[in-house]
Structures are given as structure tokens and as C-alpha cells.
Structure 1
Amino acid sequence: MVYIKPFNVEQWMDKYETKCTNNIAETCCDSVSLAELISLTSNSTTHSHSETPLILALSKKRLDYGHIRGSPTLLTNISTLYSTPSHHFPFSQILITPGAIAANFLVFYTLVNPSHHVICIHPTYQQLHTVPASLGASVSLWKLQRTETSWTADIDELKSLIVPGATKLLVLNNPNNPTGAILPLDVLMEIKVLAQKYDITVLSDEVYAPIFHSSPDPPPPSFLSLGYKNTIVTGSLSKAYSLAGIRIGWIASNNPDIIELLAQARDYNTISVSQLDDTVAAYALSPTVRRALVKRNIDLCERNLEILDTFIKKYPKHMNYVKPVSGTTAFVKFLNPRSGKVVDDVRFCESLIRDTGVLFVPGGHCFGVEEGEFKGYVRIGYACSTDSLRFGLMKVGAWIEGGGMDFV
């Protein structure tokens, strides 16, 4: 039996997210209903929701297995995410999965074995390094370094981690969860050079793209667009597109042989995704709807991040952070105002939800690997509804001012 460590962030969310009154730990852009999705582009004075193309398509959908790898419409709409005016990305090199979490797991299950060495960006979603380790691989963490203004990746450190002949997979997360940082184009190009030199497959988890919102610099491209053959990218409808309730993710690769290997393994645990989910996903990623949905969510993140930034600046003795430039999460360090030392992040979050009903994620517990790593950090998800964020932070502020942090 394979031993796998407890998935701390998912267990934390499972324990508390249905019990809290203000969930500002969630990482998805504020979720939409089918009616809201339709309203983004429909003229409600012309059609009732029951007469819209999406609802009609759902009502007439025959509930068989459908297209095993994903419907042509959905695959075509995803392919446009990676296409350029000079190159149309072939939809035959895309595979639909039940969310990005299944996409990542399928990649590891198919490609990683005990003789392999894997390098993973850090901090990141625990799955991305724990699953390869559970399969027997040796895993090294490429650690982002915090400065006053950014979380940065040191290419020289990456070079030092590579074991020629043994390093088979490099795992990226861009935009990054939990920091909201990005790997810019110049870093991505250096990664590509190293991957080509040492024949390393690159897996880039890009579930928070295209939520780029707070940097004056151009957003980084998908790693897929850099032209390196052994590239795998995963994405989903959950984070950037507000549709976590339809379990749709995908894998895209520049190497058709990789897609075929993944498809063979996928036969054992998926067959196909829900036909209703596929239909909604295809609609959401149609060009007009996708543009409206992404604009809604970038506007939401920009607005909400300013609210969070104002809140953090109000309490400089209690907290500090590097302001995110992408995605939906901020990684905030909390300090005990009496001692100036970092708080126990688990006890802090447990006290906060007990006293206020507000849910944060303890950063050390859910993202640290070494003892004491990221102690005092919490992950805040600021892409919930603006009212929820504002009300939740107001309760946290009142708790702080009432001495709630003094003994955590």
C-alpha cells in the first residue's frame, strides 16, 4: 500500500468551511450560478433563462458517456487559450479531467517512478510535491525567497537542485498559491533552457491563470507557449472561472506522446467526465462568455485586493505581507503585538473561527514542510464577494482591537 501524507489544506477546509460564517480562505473567484453565468452575456429582456442556448442544450443532453476525452466543443474552446495568430494549438493534445486536482494526479501517476528525481516550486499546493514523494520519487523543493516587494525564484538555486540523468520532472505553479506571485517571462525562458539541456519534463499548474491584476509588467505566458516539447500544463474552471461546482479540468501538452500515455492511464479511473459539466464548461469557455467572466473576476480581485491591502496597512504591528500580483490568495504573516514574535498559525486560525466565525488557512500547517517553516503565516482568499470580504475583515479588525491576538 502506498503511504501518502495527510493533505493538510484540504482537511482543514473540509473541517471548517461549512461551519464558518465568513469564508475568506476559499481560493476560487466568487462562484456563479447558471443564471449568473448566462446573464454575463445574455439579454434577459429577450429570453427567459429557460430559453437560453445553455439551458436548452442541458435539457436535451443525452446522459451517456459522451466523448471520452472531452467534447469537441470544449476541447476547441480550451485550445484557443493556448493558440496564437501564427499557431493553432491542436485540441487532440488536450485531455479533460475531473478538475485540475485529478489532472495533476494523473500526470504524477503516469510519469513518476521511484528512480526519478522531481523538483517542485515551494511554497505551493501540497499535492504537487506530496504525490510524487508517495510514488517513491526523490523530491527537492525550489524555494521562493521573500523580499520586501516580491517572492522571487532563484535560477541558480534551481541549477543546484538538478541531478543530471535523474531529474525527470520540474513542477511549477504559475500564478502561485499561496503567495500570489508569478514567474515572469525571463525566468520561464531560463527554465526552458535548463529543461532542454537536461531533458526534464515541465509540469506547469496554471489554474489561477489568467487572473493577472496588480503588476505594471505584462503577464507571463503559459509555459506551453514557449515551444518546449516536453511541457505539460494543467488548468480548470474552478479558480479563475468561478465554476468549482462543475468538476472540469484539463491537461494540455506540446508532446502528443505524453497525452497518449496519460489517456491510457486515465482509462482506469475516469472514462469520461459528466456530460452536463462538459456542456456548462464549453459554454463558459466560449469566447464571448469567457471574456466577460474573466473581466468580472479580474475586476473583483483588483477591488478586493485594495480592501485587503488597506486592512493590512491599518495593523502594521500585527501583520505584514508581499502584495500579490495575480491569482486569488495572499500569504500574510501575523505577529503577536505583545512579543513581536510570529503567532502559532494553527492556534491563531482556530481562535479566530471560534471567536468570530471567520475562516483563514494556517500557512505553516498547510504549506510548510520543514519544522517551523512559514510559522505565523496564513493564507487569505480575497476573491470572495466584496461584501463577504469587507464584513469578514471588519470582524477580524474588531477581534484584534479587542485583544483577541494577545495570547495566540
Structure 2
Amino acid sequence: MAPPPPFAVEQWMDEYETTAKYNIAETCCASISINELVSLSENKQIQPSDLIDLSAVQNYGEIRGSPGLRSNLSRLYSSKVGTPLPPDNILITPGAIAANFLVFYALLKPGDHVICHYPTYQQLYSVPTSLGADVDLWRSEPEDKWLPDFEHLKAMIKENTRMIILNNPQNPTGQVLPRSLLHKIIDLAESKGITILSDEVYRPLFHGITPMDAEFPPSILSLGYANTIATGSLSKAYSLAGVRVGWIASRNRSIIEQCAQARDYTTISVSQIDQQIASFALSPETLHSLLGRNIQLAKANLELLERFVVKHDEYCSWVKPVAGTTAFVKFTRDGKPIDARTLCTTLQEKTSVMFLPGDCFGEEWKGYVRIGYVNRTEVIKEGLEEVRKFMRKEYDDLPLFE
């Protein structure tokens, strides 16, 4: 295994996010305290101190994850499907980033061919490449509303194609792969015996599409094909990034067993305290209020961002997000893309507003910035006001990409 290249998004976040007053690059729904989490629960008798058993010995605990947490996740994946997902088909990890890595480490080998939905989180293609896999990118474009072409996917399949990697909802665009396309992907993969990994870390934060819509995208685990894997975490849709809990779920028990064997070399177990908080957050008496809070926050803040884009439509263009927490906005002047890195560094230096340059997702996305719009509303509102003033006074001095 060769070391993967520097992780552009995480390197940028690490350098700039602690000094920004208005972090509009944050991809988590506005993070909450344990006190706030408890206040959202329908169980008004519980206290924050009740979430953690202070008398419990802090050993490794259940190696694969606590029964309560896995049961709550099983309930989420079993909703509205004919065959419930057993709790034993779920493996708890320290965040979704560890879950994805573990899937790749357990299932891929040098010479395997992998197809990855793109643009997306760099880990999803850089780690397979570092493991010796041959990775092709299944590209989506703004002209097609970030909907990739299924015929292109069919043409990319090879005899040694081992895995198709999806990101649904998609980071950085906030778009979704619709139900009809997911069914086509499933049929194709099943006919070839190809495993599908769907990074669903932004699920179920849908704010521009509802379950009543015919194209509402279900979890990959709900479509009847055993060789599917979903990964997720508490970070994005559930506002608890500091609670380092993620998971791998699959209809195929043997996939979970392979991941569990590889996990012995990387994780052993996940903090019992983190899992206790996670189990409470995903319990029926808390989950709906927490998710409802975040969907309403996303809707309100997206309206603010849309007003900004419309007001500056001479310079800004986008495909409005329908899910998740991120928007991919292109900045231009005189028909040419702005140097987005200079835009982001100058903006933070002069206004303390943080954006993330789009070329962190690939060199072809020059001029784009990723905006995270589900921070607290006052952060978004005040930050966008600072950007508005910057656009009026400083924007014309920014360099262009030729």
C-alpha cells in the first residue's frame, strides 16, 4: 500500500477553520452540546448525566459495537422495507471516514478495477488508488444538474470491476442519485457481481425532495441486492461530529465479517461513552426532533444562500442543492473563472469568512467554491453579509483563471 496523496479538503479545513469567525465551509449541521441534545428528546425526564453510566468499567466493551446502538441503526435501515436489517449486519467505527477506509482495506486488492461517482470526497478514490486499485471516475457535470450518465457507467465496466462507489447525497454539490438511476445501477452491478459502496453520510438530510417524490432516493440497502454497503456517521446530519461514531452496514453478512477481521488491525473498538451518546441520539424519542431541527435549519439557511446567489447572479452560478449541507458555487468575472484559492484566502483574511476552494475536489473545478450552509443561522446570515460587502469592494481585484 502506497501512501495516498495529501487530502486537499482536510488540509484546507485544518489550516483555516479554527481562525474563521464565519465558517461557511463547515459540512456538519450546526453542532450541538449534550445539553442541547437532551433538550431535543421527547423524554423530558432524562438529564444529561443520565446518558453516561459513570459506574461502568471503561473496558473495550462490545467489540463490534454496543447492542443498543446497533439496534437503533437496524431500525433506521429496516424502515419501510420488507426484510429488516439484523443488528449483526452493522459494524460500528470511529466515524464514517474510518468506515470507508475499512471497506476499501478489507475488500480491495491490487489490480481490482473501481468506479467512483465524481466529484466527491477525495478519500473515496484516493484510498482505493493507494491500495493498488485501478480507479475510473464516473463524472457528473453541472450542465446535467450533477446527474451522471448511466450509459457512461455501463461503458466503464470491465471484467475486473470489483466495486462501484457512490456518494448519495453528494458532497460537494448537494445533489442526489434518484431512485430510478439507483435501480439501474443495482441491476447492472448485480448482473456482474459487483459490490456497491454508498457513502450516505449526508443521509437523511433531505430538504429539497420528500419521500412522496417518485424519485426520492432510498438507502442503497433498501433495493434488494445483497452486495451493497452503506456507511454513515453522526457528524453531518446529526450534529455530533465530536462523538466519533460511524458505521458500516450491509445486507451481506460475509462483507461485514471481512470488514470485522480487517478492523482488528485498526480499531479494536469504539469508545463506550461515545456509543452511549450515539445510541441516545438515534433513539426514537430523540432522532426525529434532532433531524427535524436540522432539516428546518438547512431550509432556512439555504434561502439565505439562494438570495445571495440571485443577487450576485452576474458572478455566481449553481445547481441548487436538494440534500445534505453543501453547495458548489461557481464564481466568474467577464466570463472567466475566478482564482478560487485567492478568493478564499483573501476573503478569510479580510472578512474572516471561510469558503473552501473547489479545486480541492479536482483541478477541473477551478472557479468553484464549496459552501457549507447548515451552520447556525446567525453565522450564515452575518457571514454572507460580509461576503456581500467584499463583492462590492474587493471582487474586481481578484485574479482570473485564463
Q: Structure 1 length normalisation: TM-score?
A: 0.94
Q: Is this contact kept in 2: 1:61–1:276, CA < 8 A?
A: no
Q: 1:376 aligns with which of 364, 367, 377?
A: 367
Task: Indicate the residue corresponding to 2:172 in structure 1.
Answer: 178
Task: Specify the SS of the correspondent of 2:31.
Answer: coil
Deviation at 1:197, TM superposition (A): 1.2
Aligned with 2:190 (options 188, 192, 196)? 196
Match of residue 4 from structure 2: 4
> Cα distance, 1:143 vs. partner?
0.5
- Note if 1:40 corresponds to 2:37: no
Contact 2:43 2:285 in 1 (8 A): no
2:144 is equivalent to residue 153 of structure 1: no
C-alpha deviation, 1:48, in angstroms: 5.6
- 1:65 Cα deviation after fit: 0.7
Residue of structure 2 equivalent to 1:93: 89
Moved more, 83-92 or 30-39: 83-92
Work out whether 1:353 is the aligned partner of 2:332.
no
Does the CA-based 8 Å contact 2:38-2:46 persist in structure 1?
Answer: no
Q: CA RMSD in A?
A: 1.4
Q: Tell me how far 1:228 sits from its aligned partner.
A: 0.5
Residue of structure 1 equivalent to 2:15 = 15
Tell me the TM-score normalised to structure 2 length: 0.95
Shift of 1:88: 1.8
The question of 1:344 aligning with 2:339 is answered yes
Q: Which runs of 4+ in 1 moved over 3 A?
A: 46-50
Q: 2:222 aligns with which of 225, 228, 232?
A: 225
For residue 42 of structure 1, report the CA deviation from its aligned partner. Answer: 5.3
CA distance in 2, matches of 1:99, 1:175: 17
Farther off after superposition, 396-405 or 71-80: 396-405
How far did residue 3 of structure 1 move?
2.9
* 1:399 aligned onto 2:393: no
Structure 1, unaligned runs of 5 or more: none
Between the aligned residues of both structures, percent identity stands at 54
Distance 2:292 2:139 in 1: 32
SS at 2:115's partner residue? strand
1:61 deviates by 3.1
What is the CA–CA distance in structure 1 between the aligned matches of 2:178 and 2:309, rounded to whole Å?
Answer: 26
Amino acid of the structure 2 residue aligned with 1:394: E
* Cα distance per residue 1:204-259 (max 9 Å; x no partner): 00000000011363531001011111111101000000000010000001110111
CA distance in 2, matches of 1:111, 1:47: 42
Match of 1:26 in 2: 26
Deviation, 1:106, is 0.3
**CA deviations over 1:179-198 (Å, ceiling 9, x no partner):** 00000000000000110111
2:174 maps to a residue whose letter is: G
1:334 — aligned with what? 331
Q: How many residues align?
A: 395
2:112–2:162 Cα contact (<8 Å) kept: yes
Matched, 1:236 2:237: no
**Residues 350 and 69 of structure 1, relative CA distance in 2, 3 Å threshold:** same
Q: 2:243 is paired with a residue of what secondary structure?
A: coil
Q: Distance in 2 between matches of 1:29 and 1:320?
A: 23
Please tell me the residue identity of whatever aligns with 1:362. P
Q: Flag structure 2 segments of 5+ consecutive residues without an equivalent.
A: none
